[in-house]
């Protein structure tokens, strides 16, 4: 991203540089997973800053765009109908059927012993439509298990999702019909915009907030992808060291996951996408699951039905 940088301070003695940064064009600041800040500076301004404060920097990273790591989802529309434990699997729900058994063929059922009601899942994404029926309490009342926990964005409404990806991910994680863990608390960490894009610095800020504020036990999902980023890799590692279980998408660019971030963040659990025949997802037009040594496992990622954002009963 032109003129956008992530400044990483060397140590606590960098206070003067931090103060100068805060007084100029620094935005988001980090203190837990990285010590530093995001800055918007033209190259001339950056050169002036470095001339005075360069010794205070441990590293200077170019900020870059991250986008939703889109899955080849099934566009179905209509209302959600619940798939309870042991019920027959319907079209679009094959992923649930697949994750509860070690090998094909599928048995047409989803078996689970626990709804993970003691766990909080933080979905770092475009937000979650908290009012959706999928996120109601598993006990049957109308209380939503979803809410917004944090955002790096200056626009948008808490409890909403203007793009849909975050709601889809949340439904796969914890929807009553579509979810693997039907009792989890779902918390939106909104850092991707209505086009499904954000900056590495937004992701670092999200992880920084989570390291200090997430309710444990916690799982953090990073269903996003971008170019190689040392800053994001380090932030993921620090978040894991802080006791967060980070699960990141390998990405769907048909490249080695070790060449993208967070796909190469080895501290996280890196997940590639598979299809109904247990093959690496290939959807054509350059859309295919990333691969390689950085991928820890493959999970269903083709024709996955989940919650949509057009209404509180929509599927997508």
Are 18 and 77 contained in the same domain? Answer: no
Q: How does residue 69 score in pLDDT terms, banded at 50, 70 and 90?
A: confident
For 49, the domain range is 4-63
Range in 77-86, 170-179, 197-206, 240-249 the model is least confident about: 77-86
The answer to whether residue 313 is domain-embedded is no
pLDDT at residue number 298: 98
Task: Kindly report, residue by residue over 194-220, the tens digit of the pLDDT.
Answer: 999 999 999 999 999 999 999 999 999
Are 133 and 95 contained in the same domain? Answer: yes
Q: What is the mean pLDDT of the chain?
A: 90
Average pLDDT over every residue of 285-297: 94
User: 300 or 73: whose pLDDT is higher?
Assistant: 300
Are 144 and 256 contained in the same domain? Answer: yes
Average pLDDT over every residue of 236-265: 98
pLDDT at residue number 27: 83
The answer to whether residue 217 is domain-embedded is yes
Number of domains in the chain: 2
The answer to whether residue 49 is domain-embedded is yes
Are 42 and 71 contained in the same domain? Answer: no
pLDDT at 73 over 60: no
pLDDT at residue number 90: 52
Are 59 and 92 contained in the same domain? Answer: no
The answer to whether residue 309 is domain-embedded is no
Q: How does residue 78 score in pLDDT terms, banded at 50, 70 and 90?
A: very low
Structure tokens at 108: 């047409």
The answer to whether residue 159 is domain-embedded is yes
Question: Which of 14, 41, 63 is the endpoint of a domain?
Answer: 63
Are 46 and 151 contained in the same domain? Answer: no
Are 243 and 275 contained in the same domain? Answer: yes
Which CATH number do you get for residue 246?
Answer: 3.40.50.200
Task: Kindly report, residue by residue over 147-177, the tens digit of the pLDDT.
Answer: 999 999 988 888 899 999 999 999 999 999 9
Are 34 and 130 contained in the same domain? Answer: no
Range in 43-57, 180-194, 213-227 the model is least confident about: 43-57
The answer to whether residue 170 is domain-embedded is yes
Are 99 and 180 contained in the same domain? Answer: yes
Question: Which of 63, 86, 107 is the endpoint of a domain?
Answer: 63
The answer to whether residue 312 is domain-embedded is no
3-state DSSP of the chain? CCCEEEEEECCHHHHHHHHHHHCCCEEEEECCCCCEEEEECCHHHHHHHHHHHHHHEEEEEECCEEEECCCECCCCCCECCCCCCCCECCCCCHHHHHHCCCCCCCCCECCCCCCCCCCEEEEEECECCCCCHHHECCCCCCCECEEEEEECCCCCCCCCECCCHHHHHHHHHHCCCCCCCCCCEEEEEECCCCCCEEEHHHHHHHHHHHHHHCCCCEEEEECEEEECCHHHHHHHHHHHHCCCEEEEECCCECCEHHHEECCCCCCCEEEEEECCCCCECEEECCEECCECCCCCEEEECECCCCECCCCCCEEC
Are 89 and 183 contained in the same domain? Answer: yes
pLDDT at residue number 12: 63
The answer to whether residue 308 is domain-embedded is no
User: The pTM is what?
Assistant: 0.92
pLDDT at residue number 240: 99
pLDDT at residue number 227: 95
pLDDT at 290 over 80: yes
Are 132 and 218 contained in the same domain? Answer: yes
Question: Which of 34, 63, 92 is the endpoint of a domain?
Answer: 63
Are 211 and 186 contained in the same domain? Answer: yes
Task: Kindly report, residue by residue over 127-150, the tens digit of the pLDDT.
Answer: 999 999 999 998 878 899 999 999
pLDDT at residue number 92: 64
Task: Kindly report, residue by residue over 11-52, the tens digit of the pLDDT.
Answer: 765 777 777 776 667 889 999 999 999 999 898 988 998 998
């Amino acid at each position: 991203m032109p003129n956008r940088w992530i400044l990483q301070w060397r140590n606590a003695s960098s206070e003067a540089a931090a103060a100068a940064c805060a007084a100029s064009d620094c935005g988001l600041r980090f203190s837990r997973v990285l010590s530093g800040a995001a800055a918007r500076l033209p190259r001339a301004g950056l050169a002036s800053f470095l001339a005075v404060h360069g010794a205070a920097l441990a590293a200077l990273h170019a900020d870059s765009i991250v986008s939703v790591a889109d899955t080849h989802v099934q566009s179905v529309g209509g209302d959600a109908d619940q798939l309870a434990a042991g019920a027959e699997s319907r079209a679009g729900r094959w992923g649930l059927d697949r994750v509860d058994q070690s090998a094909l063929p599928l048995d047409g059922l989803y078996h689970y012993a626990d709804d993970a009601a003691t766990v909080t899942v933080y979905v770092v994404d475009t937000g979650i439509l908290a009012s959706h029926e999928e996120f109601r309490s598993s006990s049957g009342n109308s209380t939503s298990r979803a809410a917004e926990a944090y955002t790096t964005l200056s626009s948008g409404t808490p409890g909403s999702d203007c793009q849909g990806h975050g709601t889809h991910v949340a439904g796969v994680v914890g929807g009553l019909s579509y979810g693997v863990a039907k009792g989890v608390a779902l918390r939106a960490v909104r850092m991707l915009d209505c086009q499904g894009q954000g900056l590495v610095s937004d992701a670092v800020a999200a992880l920084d907030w989570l390291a200090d504020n997430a309710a444990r036990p916690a799982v953090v999902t990073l269903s996003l992808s971008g170019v190689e980023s040392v800053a994001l890799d380090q932030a993921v590692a620090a978040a894991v060291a802080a006791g967060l279980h980070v699960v990141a998408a390998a990405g769907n660019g048909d490249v080695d996951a070790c060449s993208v971030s967070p796909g190469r963040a080895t501290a996280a659990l890196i997940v590639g996408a598979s299809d109904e025949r247990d093959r690496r997802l290939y959807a054509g037009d350059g859309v295919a699951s990333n691969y390689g040594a950085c991928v820890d496992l493959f999970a269903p990622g083709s024709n996955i039905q989940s919650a949509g954002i057009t209404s509180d009963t929509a599927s997508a």
